[in-house]
Structure 1
Amino acid sequence: MPEPGAESNTLVQRNRTAVSNHPPFPPTSIFNPPVLAARDHGSARLQHGVDRLVADYRDRGHLAAKLDPLGLSERGGDLFQLGEYGLSTDDDSESVLLSTAGRQAPTSVQLGELRQRLTDTYCQWVGYEYSHLRDADARAWLQNRIENQQGADAPAELQRRVLTQLSRAVTFERFVRKKYLGSKTFSLEGAETLITLLDLALDNAAGHGVAEVVIGMAHRGRLNVLANIVGKPPEEIFREFEDQHPDWWRGRGDVKYHLGASGEWTGSNGADVHISLCFNPSHLEFINPIALGRIRAKQDRVGDADRTRGVTVLIHGDAGFAGEGIVQETLNLTGLDDYRTGGTLHVVVNNQLGFTTGPSEGRSTEYATDIARAYDIPVFHVNGDQPLAVASVVRLAMEFRARFQRDVVVDLYCYRRWGHNEADEPTFTQPVMYDAVESRDSIYDAYRDRLVETGVVTRAEADQHAEQTRAELEEHYQAAQQKTAQPHEPPLGGVWQDYRGGAADDDECETAVDAGQLKELIEKITTFPDGFHLHPKLQRSVQQRKLIAEQEAPVDWATAESLAIASLATEGAPVRLSGQDSGRGTFSHRHALLHDAEDGRRINIFSNLADQQGEVQIINSPLCEGASLGFEYGYSLDYPGALVVWEAQFGDFANAGQVIIDQFISSAEDKWRRLSGLVLLLPHGFEGQGPEHSSARLERFLTLAAEDNIQVACPTTPAQYFHLLRRQVERPWRKPLVVLTHKSLLRHPRMASSLDELSGGGFRPILADDRPAASETSRILMSSGKMAYDLLEAREERGRSDVAIVRVEQFYPLSDAQLADTLRPYEDGARVVWVQEEPENMGAWPYWRQRCCDRIADRFPFSCVSRESSASPATGSSAAHKDEQQELIEQAFNT
C-alpha cells in the first residue's frame, strides 16, 4: 500500500499558500446569539437549575471530554446529573431563556436542545479551560468563540491542507525509520498532528503581521519539525545520519535531534515569516526562557514596543511541563513588562507518559498543564487523533494570543507509537497502553479515509501525494549517500556577520573615553527631573560623583560601572542589566533606578543621556535564577551589539542557573556554533557571611573553560571594570564573560581609580606589582579580588619589601606568554605562592595546579596557601572566619 505523502512541490521549497486564514466557522442556528444561558420564562426552580447547569458545563465540561485517542482514560463519568440541578428529563421540552455575554436580547430554546448543545460543545474532542480567567473580557470573548464555532463544518480547502501536512509528517517518520533502522530519531508517530498544528499556527501568525517566530522544543519530533516546518533540506538531515566525517566532529557538535535551524515561511497572505528553531540539550524545558529572550531581543532590535512582530512557540512534553520547575519560572516572566513578548503559544505534546513513568507517578494534578491556570492562561485540551478539532483549537489559540497578547496552552493528547526512543521496549512497563497502540491505524490513515468517504479527496489523489513525497525523500536520501568534501565553518550571517568567535582575540580595541565626555556623562546621571525628591541619604553619593567630575575625588566601582554603561549607550549600544534587586544593587551601591522620596515615582538615571542613544534597561528580575539567566542568554543570542548583563544577588546563587551555564553558555559555540556576549556579574568574597554568601564558585567556571569558550575575570580596580565592560561591546570577538565582582570592597578606600585611568589605557589581564625592587624579591604572592587587598595591607603592616603581590585580573583566557612577561623581572628561583580565600579544592588553585603543577613559567617553584579542603565553601561563624583569614595571611608571608 502506498505510504502517505504530500503535494508535488518539494519538501525544501514548499508552497504554503494553499489556504487563507479562515474566518470562524459559522454559528449554528440555536446559538445565535452565541452564549448559552441564563433565564427561564417559567418557574424560578427551572431557571435557577439551568443557570447552574450551564455554568458547570463551562467550568467542568472538559473533565468529560473525549481526549485520550487510546480510549484508556476513565474520565468524568456522568458529571451532570440533572437531579443535582433540580431538573429532570421531563423538563427537556420546557423553554429556557438564552442571553449572551454581550447582553443582547435573550432568546429561548428547549432545555433538551440546550443540553445536547452543551455536551457537543464542551464534552467532545476538546476540553476548554477558561472559566478561571480573571479578565472578564477575555473570558467572554472565549465563551462566544467556543460556543459559536461548535457544529460548523471546516472548509474543504482546510481539510485538504490538514491532510497534506499529516501526509508529510507520517511519510517522513516512516521513511526515516525504514532507512535508519535502530537509530534514535525520537519519532513523532502518534502525534503527527503537531505538524498540522504548527503549520496552521504559523499561517495564522503571518495573517496577524508576525515576521519572526522562535520555536523551542525538546527532541521528540524535532527532525520532523526541521524538515516539514523549518524547511531544513532532508538531505542535510540524512547526511547527519550517515556521519561521513568523524574526524571533523571530534570533541564538538551535537546529536541530530538536538540541533536547531532557521528558515523562511510564506503565509497564505504572501507574507514571509522567519522561523528559528532553537538548539536544545536533553534538559528538556530549559530552552523555554531562552526562546522568550530571543524573541524579545528581535522585537527590541526593530523597535517593536507593541510586541506584535514576533511570536514564541514552545513545544513541551507532558511530563516536563508538569515536572520541571523552569516551566513555572518561565510562566512567571510572561506578565512582567521587562520580559513581555506579546504572548506565547504553548503546545504540550501529551504522550500520557514520561519515558516509563505514567501520570499517576509523575504529577499531583489532573492535567499536566495545571500550573498554567495559576497564571491566568487558558488551556485547550484536544484529542490529537481528531485533526479538524486540532485545527479549530489552534486557530482559537492564535487569535486569543493576538487579541489579548497573552499566553495560551494547547494540550495535544496523543501517544508514542514506539518507546522513548526507537531502541526502547515500551511493553516492559506499559503493556496495556501499547496493546492499544498496536491495534490503532495511523492518524493519517483514519483521517484520509474519512475525507475519501465524504468526497473531499479521492483515494487516488491521496496515494499520489504519498508516492510523490516518498520519491522526493528518496532523492534526498540518495544525494546524502554521496561522499562530500570535508565540512568547513561557513561565515556567520544576519545580525552576526560583523562578529566572530573562535580563538582568543588579542587585538587591541579602544575602550578609553575622553575625559571631557566622562565629565558630561557624570553631569547627566546626577541631574534629575524638576520636582524629583532624591532620598536624603543619596545626596552624598551624588555630590561625590560631582567631585569625581571635577577630579577632586577618585572614581569608585559604582561610578565606573555607570560611566561604562552611559558611554556605551551614547555610542548607540543598547544595555540590558537585570538581576534580583539590581536597580538599587544588592549592596546599595548602584542606584541606577531612583525612587522619589515623597511620591515613589521611579526614574532611570540613564534615560536622558543624549537625543540619540541606545536604550538602557535596568531590571529588577523575579526571584529566580534559571529562567531569568536563560532569558538574558537568549536575548544575547539575537542582539550581539548590546551589552547584556545578568547579575546574581550573590555569586553563589548562580548555582540555581547551572543548567543554563553548563548546557548553553559554556558549550553552545562548540555544540551548535552559537555565539553570545552575555556578561555574568557574580558577587564574590569571603567576609564571614556564611557558605551561601561567599563564593561564586570560580572553580566551576574554570573547569568549564576550554578552547577559549568563555572569559573569567576578577577586576580589582574601577578602571579595570570600566574597560572590561566596554571591551565586551567594542571588540567583535563575542564570548560570554563571567565577572567576579565585590561586596565589602565596593567602598574600600584602596579600590579607587583616577578619571585619567578611564580616559586612557585599557583592560589588563594581570596587574603587576609596581614596586621597583624586583631583583630583591624573594617571594611573589599571586592573588585576586578581596584577598589581594588583604595581602597589600598585610605587606604594609609587616614592612615586607621582599614580597611582590601580583593580581590576576583575568583567569581565562590567559596565555603562558602573559604570565611569563609578568614574572620576567624576578630572579629565577623566587617562590611564587597562589593565595586564595577558598578551600584548597575550590577557587582557582585546582586550575593552577592542573596547568602549572609545581612550577610556573618554568622558572619558579609554585605552591598554594588556602583554607583546607572542605565540602562547604565557608564557615557560618564570623569569628571563625576572621581567625581563618588571619591564618591565611600569616602563611602567605611566612611559609
Structure 2
Amino acid sequence: MLLGQFRTTRCRPGLTSRPLLRFPQRPLLAATVLRPNPSAIPLVNIRGYHDEGAYGYRQPKPHGWTDYSESEIANRIEHSRLVRLINAFRDHGHKAAQLDPLGMAPNRVVPELDPARYGLHDMDEVISLKGLMYCPNPASPDNAPLAEASLKTIIQNLRRTYCDKIAFEFNHIPDTGERRWLNHLVESFDRKPFEPQQQRRIFELLARSEVFDHFMQKKFGQVKRYGLEGAESMMVALDQLFYHSNVQGIEGVVLCMAHRGRLNLLTDLLQLSPTVLFHKVKGNSEFPPNVPATGDVLSHLTNDPNLDYGTDTPLHVSMLPNPSHLEAVNPVAMGKARAKQLDRFNLLGGEAAAAGCSLGDRVMCVQLHGDAAFTGQGVVMETL
C-alpha cells in the first residue's frame, strides 16, 4: 500500500533539500456512521443541558419573586429614608458583623448604619413594612412576618440579621427577584435555639474532630496531615448540608475538597476505617501486595459511603481524589455530578414528570475551596 510520496523542494545554494511527506487524503466517512440514531438515544442525553442552542447553558428555573407592586412602590416612596437605611444594612452590614468568637477584636463603627445619617430619630414610630423588609413575628406559630413595626424593632432585626455572628452580602445581584428572595430568606429566618439532641450532635462532631487531631499530632507528629484545628465547624456545616439535602430529595453528593481537614472528614462523616488510614499513615500502599502500584499520597484518600439520615433513600457521598491544591478536581466533580444526574433522570423515565423531578434534582455537587483559591484561581470561576 502506498502510504505517501516524497517531494524535494528547491533550495538556495548551500542549503540541503528537505523532503516533504505527503499522505493521500482519506475518504470521508459516510454521514450515517458519524450521526447516531436519534431513536436509540434519549432526548435528554442530547439536549438536557443545552438551551437556546448554547452548549452547557440551561435557562434558570422561574422563581416566584417578581418586582415590587404598585402599592409596595408607593410605600417605599413614602419611607424613602428608611429604604436607604435598610439598603445600607444589606450593603455594609457585614462590615460590623461579630465574627470574632473570643470577642478580642474591637467593634468596627460603620457610619452608613447610623439611623441619624438618614434623618431617622423617632424610634417609636410605627412603619408599614410592605415592600421594605421582613420582620418575623415571634408570636406567630408559622413565623409569619409583621405587617408593621416600630423603627426600633426594624433596626434590631436588621442588626440581628446582617451584623451578628453570620454576615451576608448579596445586594450586588442584578436580578430584583433573586435579591428579594434572599432578603426574605435571611430576614425571616427563625433563629430558634438548638434542641438538646442537636446540641449533642454538634458537640460530638466538634469533639471527635479535635480528639482526632490531637491523636494524630501525638502519634504521627512527623506526618503532613493538614489538620482541621480552628476550622472544626466544617464538620457541622457538612453534616447539616448532607442532612437537609437528603430530606429535600437529594440521593447523591459528589464532593471535592482541598487537603485541609480531609482526614477528619473521611474518618468521621465519610466512615473511612481508621485501620485503612493508619495503614496508609505508616507508609504502606492502599493496594494489595500483589498489585504493582505505589499508591497515592495520604491527603488524596477517598471514600464513598451511604449515609443514613432517617429518610427512605440513603445519601450516597462520593469524594473524589484531589490531585493538588490547584483546584483541578473542580471540573471533574462537575462532570461526574452531571453524569449522575443524567443517569438518575433516565432511570426514572416517564416517572420523572409524575414525581415532579427535573434534571439535576437528585444529585448535588459540593466543592470546598482552600486558601485563596475561590477568588484567586481561574479554574474556580470557569467552573462556576
Could you tell me the TM-score, scaled by structure 2's length? 0.68
Q: Residue 217 of structure 1 aligns with which residue?
A: 257
Q: Residue 120 of structure 1 aligns with which residue?
A: 160
- 1:189, distance to aligned residue in structure 2 (A): 1.0
Q: Is the 8 A contact 1:265 1:272 kept in 2?
A: yes
CA distance in 1, matches of 2:73, 2:232: 37
Q: Residue 143 of structure 1 aligns with which residue?
A: 183
Report the structure number with the largest CA radius of gyration.
Answer: 1
Task: Provide, for residues 318-345 of structure 1, a one-character-per-residue CA deviation record: whole Å limited to 9, x for no partner.
Answer: 41112111111111xxxxxxxxxxxxxx
> Alignment partner of 2:304: what SS?
strand
CA distance in 2, matches of 1:74, 1:222: 33
Letter in 2 for 1:196: V
- 1:82, distance to aligned residue in structure 2 (A): 2.6
Q: Residue 285 of structure 1 aligns with which residue?
A: 327
CA distance in 2, matches of 1:72, 1:251: 51
- 1:256, distance to aligned residue in structure 2 (A): 1.0
> Alignment partner of 2:171: what SS?
coil
Q: Does 1:312 find its partner at 2:352?
A: no
- 1:140, distance to aligned residue in structure 2 (A): 2.3
- 1:106, distance to aligned residue in structure 2 (A): 7.6
> Alignment partner of 2:192: what SS?
coil
Task: Provide, for residues 633-673 of structure 1, a one-character-per-residue CA deviation record: whole Å limited to 9, x for no partner.
Answer: xxxxxxxxxxxxxxxxxxxxxxxxxxxxxxxxxxxxxxxxx
Task: Provide, for residues 548-579 of structure 1, a one-character-per-residue CA deviation record: whole Å limited to 9, x for no partner.
Answer: xxxxxxxxxxxxxxxxxxxxxxxxxxxxxxxx
Q: Which runs of 5+ in 1 are unaligned?
A: 1-35, 332-895
> Alignment partner of 2:269: what SS?
helix
Q: Residue 97 of structure 1 aligns with which residue?
A: 128
Q: Is the 8 A contact 1:213 1:311 kept in 2?
A: yes
Letter in 2 for 1:284: L
Q: Is the 8 A contact 2:133 2:187 kept in 1?
A: no
- 1:164, distance to aligned residue in structure 2 (A): 2.0
Q: Does 1:330 find its partner at 2:366?
A: no
Q: Does 1:59 find its partner at 2:112?
A: no
* Equivalent position to 1:84, from 103, 108, 117: 117
CA distance in 1, matches of 2:133, 2:101: 36
Q: Residue 271 of structure 1 aligns with which residue?
A: 313
- 1:73, distance to aligned residue in structure 2 (A): 6.4
Change beyond 3 A, Cα 1:204–1:107: closer
In the TM superposition, structure 1's runs of 4+ consecutive aligned residues that sit over 6 Å from their partners are: 72-75, 101-106
Q: Alignment length, in residue pairs? A: 290
CA distance in 2, matches of 1:147, 1:158: 23
Q: Is the 8 A contact 1:37 1:54 kept in 2?
A: no
Letter in 1 for 2:315: V
CA distance in 1, matches of 2:340, 2:107: 43
Change beyond 3 A, Cα 1:115–1:240: same
CA distance in 1, matches of 2:365, 2:328: 14
Query: Which sits farther off after the overlay, 128-137 or 255-264?
Result: 128-137
- 1:107, distance to aligned residue in structure 2 (A): 3.1
Q: Residue 233 of structure 1 aligns with which residue?
A: 273
Change beyond 3 A, Cα 1:318–1:76: farther
Change beyond 3 A, Cα 1:265–1:116: same
Change beyond 3 A, Cα 1:37–1:54: farther
Q: Is the 8 A contact 2:330 2:383 kept in 1?
A: yes
Could you tell me the TM-score, scaled by structure 1's length? 0.30
CA distance in 2, matches of 1:154, 1:105: 22
Q: Residue 303 of structure 2 aligns with which residue?
A: 261
Q: Residue 223 of structure 2 aligns with which residue?
A: 183
- 1:268, distance to aligned residue in structure 2 (A): 2.7
Q: Residue 160 of structure 1 aligns with which residue?
A: 200
- 1:150, distance to aligned residue in structure 2 (A): 5.0
Letter in 1 for 2:336: R
- 1:37, distance to aligned residue in structure 2 (A): 11
* Equivalent position to 1:172, from 212, 215, 220: 212
Q: Is the 8 A contact 1:99 1:106 kept in 2?
A: no
Q: Is the 8 A contact 1:63 1:75 kept in 2?
A: no
CA distance in 2, matches of 1:326, 1:115: 41
- 1:301, distance to aligned residue in structure 2 (A): 2.2
Q: Is the 8 A contact 2:124 2:150 kept in 1?
A: yes
Task: Provide, for residues 368-396 of structure 1, a one-character-per-residue CA deviation record: whole Å limited to 9, x for no partner.
Answer: xxxxxxxxxxxxxxxxxxxxxxxxxxxxx
Letter in 2 for 1:330: T
Question: After the TM superposition, which residues 508-519 of structure 1 pair with which residues of structure 2 at under 5 Å, given as runs?
Answer: none
Question: After the TM superposition, which residues 150-549 of structure 1 pair with which residues of structure 2 at under 5 Å, given as runs?
Answer: 151-244=191-284, 252-303=294-345, 306-331=359-384
CA distance in 2, matches of 1:307, 1:233: 31
Change beyond 3 A, Cα 1:295–1:105: closer
Task: Provide, for residues 427-476 of structure 1, a one-character-per-residue CA deviation record: whole Å limited to 9, x for no partner.
Answer: xxxxxxxxxxxxxxxxxxxxxxxxxxxxxxxxxxxxxxxxxxxxxxxxxx
- 1:204, distance to aligned residue in structure 2 (A): 1.0
> Alignment partner of 1:140: what SS?
helix
- 1:227, distance to aligned residue in structure 2 (A): 1.0
Letter in 1 for 2:319: L
- 1:283, distance to aligned residue in structure 2 (A): 3.6
CA distance in 2, matches of 1:251, 1:72: 51
Question: After the TM superposition, which residues 761-780 of structure 1 pair with which residues of structure 2 at under 5 Å, given as runs?
Answer: none
Q: Is the 8 A contact 2:226 2:261 kept in 1?
A: yes
Q: Is the 8 A contact 2:95 2:110 kept in 1?
A: no
Change beyond 3 A, Cα 1:120–1:269: same
Letter in 2 for 1:264: N
- 1:141, distance to aligned residue in structure 2 (A): 2.5
| Sequence identity (%) | 34
